[in-house]
Amino acid sequence: MSVTLLTGCTTFDNFKKAFIDKPEDKSATIEIGVFEPTTGVDSEAAKAEIKGIELAHDKYPNVNGKIVELIYGDNASDIYAAETAIKDLIAKKPAVILGSYGSVYSMVAGDYILDAKIPTIAITNTNPLVTKNNKYYFRVCYVDSNQGDLLARYVLEEKKETTAGVLLPKEDDAAMAMATAFTDRMKVETENEDAITVYENYKAGAGDFTKQLKAVQASGVKSVLLPGAIDDAAAIIKQAKKMKLDVTFLGDTQWSTEDFRSLVGSDANEKNTAFISFVSADAKENAENENTAGFIEAYYDKYGSGSEPEDATALGYDAYTIALNAIEKAGADKNGNAIRKVLDGEYSFEGVSGKINFNNMGDPIKTAYISTWKNNIMISIYTIEPTL
């Protein structure tokens, strides 16, 4: 991927001066659109993103002395409703739009956003088509192929292994994108076309994965990429444990969620699972970064210390603060193109999920973390810095 080196990191002190210390001009507001499914089948999953946006808004309610107003566009978890919702939201002329949960709704909105020239920041959309050929769409999460590449780097750099395996669900484009990036990195770095020793397909929801796991066992590999739905991943990990396979299964950011942990239970541990997480578990605990500390403080104040924020909540928080930073840097000229140029130019921000830059595709250049589950608690085991 062609990437431009970006500089000019925004410090917390500068951020605080711009968004906290300046007096509010209550006669003026700046609108930020929240394009999310607040109703329908995806509304529950979208809550984590919305939580992050609203936490950041509570903490940073103004920019350049003006009050920030969140305006909502409910796409109702439906592609047809999404078209109406984005039109209505654009008509209110927000400076920036955040969202949506669900790549398909963001893709429906893409052409309208491009025509309106309103910079938009997706939060957990991993489909590369969201930002493709759209200079007004950005994202703060990795795409599917990035995650496969990062997991290959973990196998090569940290585990020092030169072979690996892949178990792939049939007819799953996102899983295929991750698997392709993983196998490409393994083959290139090892200069070995046979670096992927075992490559097995399975039918999603099959329930029994004996054939595939026996192939893994016979191959002798110690690391196996496992893209696809989390229910299948959990079932495979459970069955592999019963078969006493000495294998580490590699997964995407979905494995960092409570939904995955509840599915796999105590069968996931530091020996058999490793996955991408956008926020370091250590950062959540230690909060050495001041922006992270602010996020953790805001989260616990609102939701109590008995629950832990999900990655999507941290990313929603980052998306909002990046939007404010871009608005502030655009100065008096706050049209969409001026704000887009800030995001697309020499721009860097130290967020909860690490330092974030955007490449020329609108995708993030950022730190990634490899994590695992230990005694039902997520811990970070390896940090991967971006390749610039």
The predicted model scores a pTM of 0.83
Contact partners, residue 116, CB within 8 Å, separation at least 6: 90, 336
Write out the DSSP string of 272-307: TEEEEESS-HHHHHH--SHHHHHHHHHHHHHH-TTS
Share of the chain above pLDDT 70, in %: 89
30 assigned to some structural domain = yes
pLDDT confidence of residue 18:
53
Specify whether 99 is located in the same domain as 132: yes
CA-nearest of 61, 22, 43 to 298 is 61
377 assigned to some structural domain = no
Taking a C-beta distance cutoff of 8 angstroms, is the pair 71, 310 a contact? no
Specify whether 117 is located in the same domain as 153: no
pLDDT of residue 1 exceeding 50: no
Write out the DSSP string of 323-340: HHHHHHHHTT--SHHHHH
- Picking from 277, 311, 335, the residue at the C-terminal end of a domain is 277
356 vs 365: CA distance, rounded Å:
6
194 assigned to some structural domain = yes
What would the mean pLDDT of 126-132 be, rounded to a whole number? 92
pLDDT, tens only, 52-96 = 999 999 999 999 889 999 999 999 999 999 999 999 999 999 999
pLDDT confidence of residue 215:
98
Q: In 17-93, at which residue ranges do the beta strands (DSSP E only) sit? A: 25-36, 62-63, 66-74
pLDDT confidence of residue 134:
97
DSSP letter for 271, please.
Answer: T
Specify whether 13 is located in the same domain as 46: yes
> Which residue matches tokens 């058999």?
272
Specify whether 166 is located in the same domain as 271: yes
Specify whether 262 is located in the same domain as 289: no
Q: What tokens were used for 4?
A: 């431009």
Specify whether 220 is located in the same domain as 330: no
226 vs 167: CA distance, rounded Å:
5
Q: CATH number for the domain including 39?
A: 3.40.50.2300
Specify whether 155 is located in the same domain as 251: yes
The burial class, CB within 10 Å (0-12 / 13-18 / 19+), for 334 is middle
pLDDT confidence of residue 8:
44
CA-nearest of 376, 373, 234, 369 to 315 is 369
- Picking from 249, 277, 305, the residue at the C-terminal end of a domain is 277
pLDDT, tens only, 9-23 = 444 455 555 554 554
Specify whether 43 is located in the same domain as 116: yes
pLDDT confidence of residue 307:
79
The burial class, CB within 10 Å (0-12 / 13-18 / 19+), for 380 is middle
4 assigned to some structural domain = no
Give the total number of structural domains in the chain.
2
pLDDT, tens only, 28-44 = 899 999 999 999 999 99
Decide: helix, strand or coil at residue 371.
strand
What would the mean pLDDT of 39-50 be, rounded to a whole number? 96
Specify whether 176 is located in the same domain as 137: no
What would the mean pLDDT of 119-128 be, rounded to a whole number? 94
Residue span of the structural domain in which 349 resides: 9-142+285-366
Least confident span in 126-135, 336-345, 350-359: 350-359
Specify whether 131 is located in the same domain as 157: no
Specify whether 32 is located in the same domain as 54: yes
Share of the chain above pLDDT 90, in %: 71
Distance in angstroms between the alpha carbons of the first and the last residue of the chain: 10
pLDDT, tens only, 358-381 = 998 999 988 889 999 999 889 999
pLDDT confidence of residue 356:
87
Taking a C-beta distance cutoff of 8 angstroms, is the pair 223, 161 a contact? yes
pLDDT of residue 174 exceeding 50: yes
Beta strand 273-277 pairing with 248-251: parallel
375 assigned to some structural domain = no
* 3-class SS shares of the chain: helix, strand, coil, % to 5: 45, 20, 35
- Picking from 255, 277, 299, the residue at the C-terminal end of a domain is 277
What would the mean pLDDT of 319-341 be, rounded to a whole number? 90
> Please, which pLDDT band fits residue 3 given cuts at 50, 70 and 90?
very low
166 vs 189: CA distance, rounded Å:
17
Specify whether 193 is located in the same domain as 89: no
386 assigned to some structural domain = no
